[in-house]
Structure formats: C-alpha cells, structure tokens
Homo-oligomer: A and B are copies of this chain.
Amino acid sequence: MPPHPDIAGVHLQQVLEALVDPVRRQIVRELHAADEALRCGVIDLPVSKSTATHHFNVLREAGLIRQYYVGTSRMNALRRDEVEKVFPGLLALVAAEDHPGAGRPSSGRAGPGGTP
C-alpha cells in the first residue's frame, strides 16, 4: 500500500539501482513471464522472507511493480506498459537475460551471512 510512484517521475538511476540486483531481476523476469500478478510466496527466491520483502519494496519504489493485498497475500504485478513507455526496451533486456547459475553479481556480491 505504500506509495506507488508515477513512473514518469522516476529517474533512470533508481531503476538501474533496482535492477542491478540479481534477485530483483529474477522477480521481474518471473512476473514478466507470468504476465499476471503473483503472490510473493509463489516466486521461489534464494533469500529469506524478510530479504524478499525488502526486494519487492525496492522494485515498487522504483515504479517497476504494483502491489496490493488479497487476504494476507501481497500480489505483485509488473507495470509493463508504463515502464515500457518511459524506458523502452528495458524490460525486454531483463526478460531475455540468460541467467547463468543464479545470476550472481560479477564480483561475488552476496552479502554477509549468505550461506554460513
């Protein structure tokens, strides 16, 4: 429910910061493929629930996804057309990504506590 920014007002900087994380790109890819809103839990992410919540929030704040509740489930929908209008081709690049392994950052960025 927090604020969904108007994509026209989002800077490329913020969108890139959102998409530079492999986990967040995975989310975008799955939403793109599903072509419909998905529950958070449906997407199998390699991180804890709290971290997942964080990633969804970042995507929302960047104007890439729209979120709304249905019961206790948070639905997530890719803002396809809107994003396409402001950043043409961007989603296609992510959707077409050849996600090797798990799309880990080039310079082994995994954060601490990764998998102790």
Please report A residues at the B interface, Cβ cutoff 8 Å: 11-14, 16-17, 19-20, 22, 25, 87-90, 92-94, 97-98, 100, 103-107
The complex places the Cα of A100 from the Cα of B13 at a distance, in Å, of 10
**A61 closest partner in B (C-beta):** B106
Give the copy number: 2
**Which residues on the B side are within 8 Å of A90 (C-beta)?**
89, 93
For the complex of A and B, 5 pairs with smallest distance between CB atoms: A89-B89, A14-B106, A16-B20, A20-B20, A12-B97
Select which of B11, B87, B106 is within 8 A of A17 by beta carbon. B106
**Which residues on the B side are within 8 Å of A105 (C-beta)?**
13, 17
Complex contact B20–A106 (CB within 8 A): no
Other A-B pairs beyond A13-B106, A17-B20, A88-B89, 16, CB < 8 Å: A11-B98, A12-B25, A12-B93, A12-B94, A13-B22, A13-B103, A13-B104, A13-B105, A14-B106, A16-B16, A17-B106, A20-B20, A89-B89, A89-B90, A89-B92, A89-B93
